Amino acid sequence: MRNIWTGVLLLSALLCVWFSGCGHRKGETKEAEGEMGYTKISQKEAKELMDSGEEIVILDVRTEEEYAMGHIPRAICISHESIDESVEQKLPDKEMKILVYCRSGHRSAIAAEKLAELGYRKVLDFGGIMSWSYEVVKD
């Protein structure tokens, strides 16, 4: 009987340890907490940040042609392919919140990872403009 209780206690302890790492903060995925270096947020959260009056950079990482066809107001365009050390000329403040998007979410994830690797500490990826239900402007 004692062996059964020891087994139950051991199993309970292991489950507690296992599940203690499963929680995450609102707006963050488990990957964003340490494996990716940037945070994934919803488009609603991105829009709330844009409307908050907080100083942020909205970064469109599509091509110039895609940007001209329609982009989020106040967004600047730096294609994901051109994000390297020279991006510091356009984005000198590595503590500034940077909201990153592309067309579908794939390129924004690549760009967000590159920015994090370059030392930008507040990179927020909110996916693609294809599912953006808020205002879009054209050049």
What is the C-alpha separation between 13 and 29, in angstroms, rounded?
25
Long-range contacts of 40-46 (CB under 8 A, 24+ apart): 40/124, 40/125, 40/126, 40/127, 41/124, 41/125, 41/126, 42/126, 43/126, 43/127, 43/131, 43/132, 43/133, 43/134, 45/124, 45/126, 46/99, 46/101, 46/124, 46/126
Reply yes or no on whether 102 is catalytic.
yes
Measured in degrees and rounded to the nearest 5, phi and psi for residue 59 equal -115, 115
Strand order in the sheet with 39-40: 39-40, 123-128, 97-102, 56-60, 75-77
Indicate which residue of 16, 22, 77, 102 is catalytic.
102
Active site residues: 102
